[in-house]
Structure formats: structure tokens, C-alpha cells
Amino acid sequence: MYPPFVYYTETTAEKANARKDPRYYSDDSPVFIDGTEPLLLVEFCQRRNCTIEAYFDEINLWGDVTENRTGTGVLGAVATRQADFAVCAIYHWSHPYRFATYTGEISRSGVTVLVTKPVAVAPWRTPFMPFSDDLWKVVGMAFFAGVVAVLLIERGRAYIKGAIGGQRMNISDSLLSMIGLYVAQNVFIRRDLIACTILFISLLFAGFMVGNLYGARLDEIMTIPQFEHAIETGQDLADSGLTFVGNDLAWMFTLRSSPQAHVQKLVRHYKVVDDNYMVQHRDMRDVGYIAEKTEFGHVSPVDFLDVQSADNYQLLKEDLAWQYCTAIVSKTCPFKHSFNELLMEIRQSGIQYYWESLVVNRYLGMAIQQKILKVDPLETCEDAVILQVSQFVGTPNSKWCRKQLN
């Protein structure tokens, strides 16, 4: 069951549009199948006067096909001739094609990931955020170099002046002097030697630059709320090292053949888990969830989320990969040509948009969809513009005009 693509439930004979395949079930009880792809089969059988005998593999899901023509899941059922059609958001994967074939394109679909939204930075990190790690290292090296320089110049001054030079600055005095220069405070400066004067003037300018840069950046940080780095692209996801999970290895069929290094890294970060694991971790913010974005802008699967936990996740701004969904059929299927003709008519009619919206409203819950697909308000802002002189003189001019009018 994978809405909006596939949905089914047992029902009465009056409401049913298919029945269970007696080869796989102890009874052939009636079922109601729904979804953007099974509805194609329902329409096909209504026109061709045939009956749908359905088989659902909730354990192996898509499954896989091996070299010796055995397989599991819906892919294996068609490859081993146990089924004529298989639909469930199937892409044009290369390995099942050796034992089966594909129909025309049903819809466009993209593989994406639900990642955790960035959270506000902890307050204790605020004093350390104005400078990057590398810049903090440079500032620290410059600070200790200044302390050493003050100690050396003091030792040289004591050697030249002797007892008349007064008390020599020790290491604590040097540290406090450097701290005072960095925070723009008064410090004691030796002026009786040119070397001392040059040194302290150099340290004074360095302290001014560091202090002003730090203060300006700190003002910006405290004015604008700071958040952790957002994961917005596949490259960001790979760099973050976040593990993302799904219920089947078939999600990686499209990605594992990519030559890009970050995509291969994503494949290694993917983990196959059961539904209970996904439900347990939805509030822990420690994993992402593989997802599929449909042709008409909906997201699936989201059955492991509730309305509250959906607030913690957002979609990547770009798909990891996209392909066209299709149906897989046996190579000798006599209905392929007729099905493709029907598929072309339905694609041209535009009714698939209505089907998808209907199925989403029935089975996925629009509250969760709206939270996940909610547009970032920053994206609706206009582009930044360079300030012009007229924007600065506009206020005085407007005041002058008001005075003249009054």
C-alpha cells in the first residue's frame, strides 16, 4: 500500500473493483483498489471486459530480480511470470528489464529526502560565532605572538635601562595588556624606547581591527536569529552525514549507478528499516526519511509522521533524482499495446491531476502535506538591491516637502 500511487482495502462485492488472486490467497475475497496507477488498470478492464486478480506483497514490496530469473516483490512476480502487470511507482530500472519490459510513462516522479529543519543555535555559542574556526586560530596565534613580543621587548628594555627602567612587565601583565588592546580598553604603554612605541602602536592597530570586526559581527548575530546550517541539496545532505531511512532497497536503484561522488556517499548513508523504526525516530531528529515527490506536487510516504512531528521536517529544495513511473509487464504480455494506447488518452485528458488530488485527500491527510510542502517565507522576498544615494536623501527631502506644504 503506497498512496497516492497504490491503495487497496477489502470490501463488499458491490463496492469492489478487483478480487484477490486465488493462487496466493486462501480466498478470492473482493477488494477495492485505488490510486493513480491501479485506476489505469481499472479503466483498462472496464473497456476490455476483464477482471483484475490482485496480489499485494507487503513484505518484500518492490523486491528485486536476480541473475537466475528468480525474484521477490512485485518485480519478481512479473519476472517469474506469476503476474502480468505490476504497478507501484516503478521506474525504468535496468536490471529487471532483462526479464520483463515496461509500458509507456505513467507520471513523472522525483526521489527526495525529508530532512530535519534547522534549529536555533544554542545561546552559549553566540560569543564564538562572529569568527570562523580558521579566523579564531589566526586571532589566537596573533594574540600569543603579541604576548611573546611584549615579553621580549620588556626583557630587552630591562637589559638597556637596568634598574632605572622600573618594574618589568611579567607574563600576566602582558596577557592583560593584550586583552585590553583587543577589547579597546586603556593599557599601559612604554614610550621611552622607539622599539616599545612601534610595538605597542602595531598592537594597538591590530587590536582595533580585531575588536571592531568582532563587535560588528556580534551585533549582526544578535540582531538576526541564527540557525544551524540548513540541508537543502543533495550535496548538503552528503556533507552533513545524516543517515536517511526507508523501507526498501529499491529507493537506491536509481542512485547507485550515478558516477557522482556525493551521490555514492548518499547511497552508503541510506539504511533500510521497518515501519516501527521510522515511527520511533520521528521525534528524535536523528534521521531523515526517503520520500517521493509526485508529478502534481504531493509527497509520499508520510504515514509514519503525525501532525506534530511533521513540523520538524522539510523537503530538499531539489530532487536527488527523477524518472518517469511506468508499469512493468512480462515480455510476451498481449495487453501492452492496448494499455499504452489507453495511457496516452488518459495522459492527454489531464484527469490524472484529479485522481491524484482525490487519493491524497482520502488517504494521506492534507494537514501533513501542507506542513511538509509549506513554502519558505524567505523565498517569497524580493531580491536584495544595492542602496543608492536617493534612498538615503529621501527622508530629508520628504521632511522638507512637508514643511513647504504646511
What is the number of other CB atoms lying within 10 angstroms of the CB of residue 378?
Answer: 6
Ordered DSSP codes for 179-219 = HHHHTT-------SSHHHHHHHHHHHHHHHHHHHHHHHHHH
* Strand 18-20 relative to strand 53-54, pairing: parallel
Give buried/exposed letters for 236-275 (b at 16+ CB in 10 A, else e). bbbebebebbbbbebbbbbbeeeeeeebeebeebbeeeee
Longest C-alpha distance within the chain, in Å? 115
Phi, psi of 83 (to 5 degrees): -145, 150
358 pLDDT tier (thresholds 50, 70, 90): very high
Helix (H, G, I), strand (E, B) or coil at 345: helix
pLDDT in tens, 377-406: 444 445 556 656 554 444 444 444 444 444
As a whole number of angstroms, the distance between CA 219 and CA 237 comes to 30
Q: Is residue 375's pLDDT more than 60? A: no
**Considering only CA atoms, which of 58, 89, 57, 91 is closest in space to residue 76?**
57
Least confident stretch, 143-157, 363-377, 388-402: 388-402
Closest-CA residue to 288 (of 251, 318, 244):
244
Pairing of strands 313-315, 107-116: antiparallel
DSSP 245: E
DSSP state of 6: B
Q: Which of 186, 200, 187 is nearest to 153 (CA)?
A: 200
pLDDT reported for residue 329: 94
User: Is 60 exceeded by the pLDDT of residue 165?
Assistant: no
Which sign does the torsion angle of CA 86, 88, 92, 96 carry? negative
Torsion-angle region of 178 (φ positive above 0: left; ψ -120 to 50: alpha; else: beta):
alpha
Higher pLDDT, 148 or 167: 148
Q: What is the pLDDT of residues 324-342, one digit of tens each?
A: 999 999 988 899 999 999 9
Which tops the pLDDT comparison, 7 or 395?
7
Task: State if pTM tops 0.85.
Answer: no
Alpha-carbon distance of 216 to 142, in angstroms, equals 20
Give the closest residue to 246 by CA, choosing from 260, 232, 266. Answer: 266
Look at residue 106 in the predicted model and tell me its pLDDT: 95
Position 70 scores a pLDDT of 85
Task: Answer yes or no: is pLDDT of 299 > 50.
Answer: yes
CB 20 within 8 A of CB 54: yes
- Identify which of 64, 37, 94 has the alpha carbon closest to the alpha carbon of residue 325: 37
Q: What pLDDT is recorded for position 387?
A: 58
Query: Which residue in 77, 111, 110 sits closest to 328, CA to CA?
Result: 77
- Mean pLDDT rounded to a whole number for the chain: 85
328 pairs with which residues across the strands? 86, 102
Name the more confident of 155 and 13: 13
With a cut of 90, say whether residue 280 has pLDDT above it.
yes
